[in-house]
Chains A and B, each alone.
Chain A
Amino acid sequence: MSETLPATGLLAASWLLIALPLAGAAVLLLGGRRTDRWGHLLGTGTVVAAFVLGLACTVQLAGVDGRSVDVDLFTFIQTGSLDVGAGLLFDPLSAVFVLLITGVGALIHVYSIGYMAHDPARRRFFAYLDLFVAAMLLLVLGNSYVALYVGWEGVGLASYLLIAFWYTRPAAATAAKKAFVMNRVGDVGLALAVFVMFAQLGTTSYAGVLGNVGLLAGGTVTALGLLLLLGACGKSGQFPLQAWLPDAMEGPTPVSALIHAATMVTAGVYLIARSAPIFDASPSARTVVLVVGAITLMIGAIAGCAQDDIKKVLAYSTVSQIGYMFLAVGLGPVGYVAGLAHLLTHGFFKAGLFLGAGSVMHGMGDQTDMRRYGGLAGKMKTTFVTFGLGYLALIGFPLLSGYWTKDAIIEAAFDRGGVSGWLLGGVAVLGAGLTAFYMTRLMLLTFFGRPRWDDGVHPHESPGVMTVPMVVLAVGSVAAGFLLVEVFPLADWLAPVFGEPAEAAAHAIPPLLVSVLVSLVVLLGAVVAWLFVGRREVPVTAPARVSPVVRAARHAIYADAVNESLLMRPGMWLTRALVFVDNRGVDGVVNGTAAALGGSSSRLGRAQTGFVRSYALGMLGGAVLVAGALVAVTAG
């Protein structure tokens, strides 16, 4: 890592980036109904202001030696050996994320003004959205793992609040709960990693940890890497913690676009890229990242092929594309830039696709089942064109965004060499084909064919406040890849973080050949989709008699069933067993449960299940165990 200078000028004010949206959220939440009329404008304004500030900071950063500045805020915890400063690190990596978060965030705020116009709780929505932006900026700007963790929990909370935004729908509440629980599993991993850093190095600042990886034992580094990976998997919806992300689509569509496609779910990629020195030092941890990425990209792509809900398809597509990013960062130095470039272009086209899906739903009376769409191309022209460009970018149509960044990842995978290189490259190519299949299917079902609309639905184009952000994002979908690879090479910009880009050495397969191969596979996927979907009449209800493969894909490779049997059931058994012992067990030994129940029912009509004697017996048992354990320890 290069030298980090203290911040000067505008960069010293980069804490405002976080403070602005946070202040917006605070005003909206505390201001109550008084802010109903102009709350959405304030919420949008703070994020736009943050974007402008972020842009100015980035420009200034480009002129700083070493392109990395430290902004000291205050001392969070300092006592004895424990020293946690609260400070920001503004370097090329965080700058990229700041621009993505505030840029896409601002567009989605604008879009939401229209999308949520008729929602009585629009103010609350903007407050949560601002809260999310603030937390996400803290996540990427913090200069230590503790600061990152604070932001990490913050985005988790905001995501939870936003998934459950329409809490009257049971599905939304359940989805929020699922997201929360699975994220907690990942958070435990991240928290443990932070504690390991403390125990081993006495600090959690990036400079202190990443500069001293060499001091750690090999096993510790691997453990650290795996714990960080667990955290990343939780937040980014990667295998085995991927199941929450598709369910999270119960939230309002702008939320899906911002949080569950463009920004928050890519936090895992940020974490791994930020911790590059740790993964550089542990090949085994890096291999696990690779495997996780490869598995996830296949699971997401396969599941995406059989979904009928337009947002679910896009969600599985997100899972799959983040799998690509994990695969890339798992490849090591050659992959970091490729992964991050894909992250940025994906941020554009996936956000655009979600906004397009929202626009379609807006026109179709909140219907999300694609079997009830069809023939919308003529009715919603702007949506069709912008969505179509996003589609082409995603499947990797030559010269559009996805083509530049996804091909780079596939090339890097083949370049790994050996059997694993061929295997990973093969998986990546196959994934590209599947992506083309499910996205073409989505396009055909939605925009082409005979209309299969519900009665009383009159599709119409969305208002300008919604279509303008879609157009901007579509422009990004078309141009971002070319800009980031050829015009302003991301590799050069990120060089202070990851080192100078290695000169293209010997490629396992010539890049041109890879491009041709991938394009052919993509074409094949699209053609197969046309053969299966476009050519035939689409039934309005999904056929029940399908092959086992389709059934497995519909159930997302049975991820929920696996989670349920491996995690949820044992947890429920534990709870039940403990409740039984606590309430009834001990007393049952003495009196029988019936007596306890009968006795308690008379007391003021409430259930106080315990008798003092059974409590006392429990204590006696505990005391005997305590004494026995002590004597055993002493004697042994």
Chain B
Amino acid sequence: MGAIQAPDLSLAALAPLLFVFGAAAVGVLVEAFAPRDVRHPVQVTLALVGMVGAFASTILLAGTREVTAGRALAVDGAALFLQAIIAALGALSVLLFAERSLDPARSAFVASAAVPAGSLRDVELATSERVQTEVYPLASFAVGGMMLFTAANDLLIMFVALEVLSLPLYLMSGLARRRRLLSQEAAVKYFLLGAFASAFFLYGLALVYGSTGSVQLADIRAASSADGTDTLLVLGLGLLVVGLMFKASVAPFHTWTPDVYQGAPTPVSAFMAAATKVAAFGAILRLLYVGFGTADWTWRPLVYGLAIVSMVVGAVLGLTQTDVKRMLAYSSIAHAGFLLTGVIGLSNDGSGSGLAATMFYLLTYGLTTLGIFAVVTLVRDGDGEATHLSQWAGLAQRSPLTAGLMTFFLLALAGIPLTSGFTGKFAVFRAAIEVGAWPLAVIALLASAVAAFFYLRLVVLMYFSDPAPDGPTVGVAGLPTTTVLAVTAAATLVLGIVPGSVLDLARSAAVLVG
């Protein structure tokens, strides 16, 4: 028995993770020791510092290509690019969390989550200044887990990252200030189904280990081969994919998405819809191309099929939704399918434009989605947010600016030219066609035509209907929400008109080491 060898750790390469996790850990201490009335500003600042620091360090690290921490982490172009996106989306989400002037109840988050909903104490606290400030360290942990997820070069680390990002999300979903039962129900659903999906992932991990004797992606790549592949290994791959597709809300593993997006506090829905998608696709790309790249013939038909199912389910079911948040959930399912067309667009040695295209799409989709949820937080009635579609009728007459922003974001999601949505779709469809996935691109175009219909329906409702007499009011956004709206709208426009430099960046970052 020799002494335990400490793994090599390149602390510099891990700086983004250290920033976020550091902020999260300090946040827990603040929660324990700081007096209640200063916690909120301190926590917001802390979370922002962590995420902005992480973002800045990914930029400083640009160009790094190394495998570190005993080969458990790969710090490469793709990981850094996606980490930068996650940190940026995380910081913007924290701004949404921190908005205190929109809701007369002073926050989207509950005052004290432990008080039973509807109890006397709960009613008393509902109008207080108190907020469950743990949400900020939780968000930091979730962001840290997501960033780790995209860099995991080892299935065990990937699993740990999956749990680190998921557990805070389950909790955060249950922290809504209004409609608490609905929010808690969403949290429990998300938790149960998430645990179920994690179990799939874990079992897949075990099967892969049983087949190859290793949990490292590089070893798995060496063990799987281009011609014959062990059934055990393939089954393991299938179960791993199920676990990841759940997080990415790809149909048929999407069932949690509408309920959870609807029930969770809207800033949390925004965070989940934008950042979780980025992290999940980072892990999917790494697993499929680093771990199973040589055996791509086994999973290609599967991903192909899942892309189609997800696009069709998302686009068609979106048509029948009557709630804005549920509609956005189905939109997120359809977009997961569009992203999978980009995942297909990579040849097995990692060349092809699919990786860059998918990463660019994740950036555009994340920012637009965050923006659209931010608009949703503005439209309110006495009960909180007015999310029923009928309440949005004639909004343009009440608030032309809000309706205009919403329209712009919806057009971007629909992929209309001069918005980032068009450039993103263009890039992923082209990547799919480059590798000969013709039919997939055709179906994707048809699905986006169908999806455009339900986005436009909301536009029509806002502009071409008369407002209901007791309709919602449009809240006056505070500085945080205004910042988010300005940043996301500007990004959606700029990436739609002059996307060249960012596409270039994505292309030069499109490297997976392993």
Contact = CB atoms under 8 A, between A and B. Distances in A.
Given A575-B320, A623-B238, A629 B445 contact: no
Given A32-B400, A74-B498, A79 B504 contact: yes
Contact of A153 (B305, B417, B498): B417
Contacts of A629: 238, 301-302, 305
Given A199-B434, A604-B179, A619 B252 contact: yes
B464 A633 contact: no
A251 to B, nearest CB: 13
Interface string B173-185: 0000001011001
Nearest to A160: B456
B239 A627 contact: yes
A634 B228 CA distance: 8
Given A154-B417, A167-B463, A634 B229 contact: yes
Contact of B196 (A78, A167, A610, A619): A619
Contact of B182 (A187, A579, A603): A603
Contacts of B60: none
A619 B242 contact: yes
Interface in A116-156: 149-150, 153-154
A621 interface: yes
B131 interface: no
A635 B234 CA distance: 10
Interface stretch (B64-72, B139-147, B446-454): B446-454
Nearest to A620: B196
A191 B259 contact: no
A578 B317 contact: yes
B193 A612 contact: yes
A226 B507 CA distance: 33
Contact of B445 (A181, A188, A574, A606): A188
B197 interface: yes
Nearest to A181: B453
Contact of A630 (B299, B353, B426, B460): B299
Interface string B285-321: 0000000000001110110011000001100110110
Contact of B302 (A610, A618, A621, A633): A633
Nearest to A185: B449
A199 B435 CA distance: 9
A149 B262 CA distance: 36
Contact of A164 (B313, B460, B504): B460
A621 B500 contact: no
B503 interface: yes
A633 B185 contact: no
A626 B241 contact: yes
A626 B302 contact: yes
Contacts, number: 169
Interface in B197-255: 197, 200, 229, 231, 234-235, 237-239, 241-242, 246, 252-253, 255
B239 A623 contact: yes
A195 interface: yes
Contact of B181 (A164, A184, A604, A619): A604
A185 B448 CA distance: 11
What size tier do the contact residues of chain B reach? 35 or more
Interface in A174-230: 176-177, 180-181, 184-185, 187-188, 191-192, 195-196, 198-199
A579 B317 contact: yes
A625 B442 CA distance: 24
A633 B319 contact: no
Contacts of A76: 497-500
A565 interface: no
A150 B417 contact: yes
Contacts of B234: 630-631, 633-634
Contacts of B188: 612
Nearest to A609: B259
A187 B231 CA distance: 44
A433 B385 CA distance: 62
A346 to B, nearest CB: 28
Interface in A591-636: 603-604, 606, 608, 610, 612, 614-616, 618-619, 621-623, 625-627, 629-631, 633-635
B298 to A, nearest CB: 6
B2 to A, nearest CB: 40
B429 interface: yes
Nearest to A80: B507
A76, A616, A634 — most chain B CB neighbours (10 Å) = A634
B235 A608 contact: no
A620 B456 CA distance: 34
B42 interface: no
A547 interface: no
Given A608-B185, A623-B239, A623-B242, A199 B433 contact: yes
A77 B503 contact: yes
A75, A153, A185 — most chain B CB neighbours (10 Å) = A153
Contacts of B433: 195-196, 198-199
A168 interface: yes
Contacts of B429: 195
Nearest to B453: A181
A630 B185 contact: no
A634 to B, nearest CB: 5
B298 A634 contact: yes
Interface string B424-459: 001101100110000001100110010011001000
B197 A619 contact: yes
A629 B452 CA distance: 31
Contact of A150 (B193, B418, B500): B418
Given A164-B464, A604-B179, A618-B255, A630 B313 contact: no
B405 interface: no
Nearest to A622: B252
Contacts of A606: 182
A91 to B, nearest CB: 23
A426 to B, nearest CB: 38
Contacts of A77: 423, 426, 499-500, 503
A181 B196 CA distance: 40
B181, B252, B441 — most chain A CB neighbours (10 Å) = B252
A82 B239 CA distance: 36
B273 to A, nearest CB: 18
B164 interface: no
A97 B224 CA distance: 60
A344 interface: no
Contacts of B301: 629, 633
A315 interface: no
A280 interface: no
A408 to B, nearest CB: 36
Nearest to B191: A612
A202 to B, nearest CB: 10
B464 A627 contact: no
Given A164-B460, A167-B464, A626-B241, A81 B353 contact: yes
A167 B397 CA distance: 13
A523 to B, nearest CB: 47
B311 to A, nearest CB: 12
Nearest to B186: A608
Given A180-B456, A623-B200, A634-B298, A82 B430 contact: yes
A626 B433 CA distance: 24
Contact of B320 (A32, A80, A153, A579): A579
Those 6 A-B pairs whose CB atoms lie nearest each other, nearest first: A167-B464, A622-B252, A615-B255, A150-B417, A627-B238, A79-B503
23 contacts: A75-B500, A79-B356, A149-B417, A160-B456, A167-B464, A176-B460, A192-B445, A195-B433, A196-B433, A575-B316, A578-B312, A578-B316, A579-B320, A603-B185, A604-B182, A608-B262, A619-B193, A619-B196, A619-B253, A623-B238, A626-B302, A627-B238, A629-B301
Given A76-B499, A575-B319, A616-B192, 10 more contacts: A76-B498, A78-B504, A150-B417, A177-B460, A582-B313, A603-B185, A606-B182, A608-B185, A612-B189, A616-B193
